[in-house]
Structure 1
């Protein structure tokens, strides 16, 4: 994880984040000043940002909206006050309404981003200056420290070539918090086909099988928000099967689908599964963010060999896409 420290100073009314990267500072600068790259990490997992404006010049304005896993929306606004390319820039950072205008009911702050060379690559330092101790306390209580840390942890995938970052590493599982796990897998094929393979029941029955020795006789897919889905697996040759069911709660066709999930016939809370796809140079990075009800449930499910079973399925998926 690139973040090395996050500290608050109530006397100076600041929050300082420091992160180190194994690339030149010019590469990190580019990630923060290109809106298409910036929106890949500006926003914690499960709340990706979409920049609707980005006028990178003194006096210019950038606006964005972050969309939560259930379709919730939160807006932000930057006004660029100082730019010293390629070492630093400063913005007035505020919450924004649906039109991109500053929300006067929420505190605004001043943020500086600086980029410097280190023996191992580069260092990013972000300092947020708050107007009052109340504003600092309010935003920290809203999860600013945790959100910023998890957001910056996504920068690794942006700074490297996608194939270089993920090729040959198989399915990777990262524990982000007590409730959140992120699973990533590079699929050597276009996003359109990977999306189709997740939403065509006949294709799903060919690859979404977990370890060898299972079949998928039922694959009822949810295609519209509010639709229910139902998947059932049975062992080859007969025997006791199992299944999952849930609801599609948010969809951005072709790139993102969020579903609830619970085991058929089991009581208690389930999970929230946030699937997103990003294509670069003909390859697709599949990211699945899973929200568990608690750490105990998370650990119990991970201990079943989930990652290994998913890798077997994703390897079939890649073969299917390549075919």
Structure 2
């Protein structure tokens, strides 16, 4: 599995994932930049993602949904807040309604993804910051930690060019 550590810090309102891949930084960057690659791993294996929109620029909007085993759809949105290609990506992430638009733009988490060289490969650190302790606990109760671990576990397959 690619995730080598997770750390929940209730005091700092953060959840951090560290993953390592046997691929260069530019290749790992593509799993975020390219919506077709992104949807092959964003979401656990039983909840695959589909990105309807992915504007990979600062201020850009992404709209996606994950489809569950019974056909149910969980929708989400991103607003990209910073890009330092190919080393850093920041975005706000929240729940969306049936049209893909934010349910509550104030109910977001902020994610920071950093990529750095680790030996012959790449270390990806994903830091999620929550608005308050209640939001952190709600997201953990919904399975965010395990879901992200399973989702990131699919990146090696994407990097290898295998289809889901």
TM-score (norm 2): 0.96
Aligned-pair CA distance for 1:28:
0.4
1:302-313 pair list within 5 angstroms: none
Aligned length: 164
Q: Secondary structure at the match of 1:19?
A: strand
Aligned-pair CA distance for 1:107:
3.1
Aligned to 2:98: 98
Q: Could you list the per-position Cα deviations for residues 115-152 of structure 1 after superposition, in whole angstroms to 9, with x for gaps in the alignment? A: 10111300000000100011101101110000000001
Aligned to 1:152: 152
Aligned-pair CA distance for 1:45:
1.1
Q: Secondary structure at the match of 1:42?
A: coil
Q: Unaligned regions of 5+ residues in structure 1, if any?
A: 163-277, 279-284, 286-323
Aligned to 2:84: 84
Aligned-pair CA distance for 1:161:
3.2
- Note if 1:117 corresponds to 2:117: yes
Aligned to 2:9: 9
1:95 touches 1:106 (CA, 8 Å); kept in 2? no
1:59-208 pair list within 5 angstroms: 59-104=59-104, 107-162=107-162
- The CA RMSD measured in Å over matched residues stands at 1.4
Displacement over 3 Å in runs of 4+:
none
Aligned equivalents of 1:102 and 1:161: distance in 2? 32
Aligned equivalents of 1:50 and 1:3: distance in 2? 23
Q: Secondary structure at the match of 1:71?
A: coil
With over 3 angstroms needed to count, the CA separation of the structure-2 counterparts of 1:58 and 1:106, relative to structure 1, is: closer
Q: Secondary structure at the match of 1:146?
A: helix
2:94 touches 2:105 (CA, 8 Å); kept in 1? no
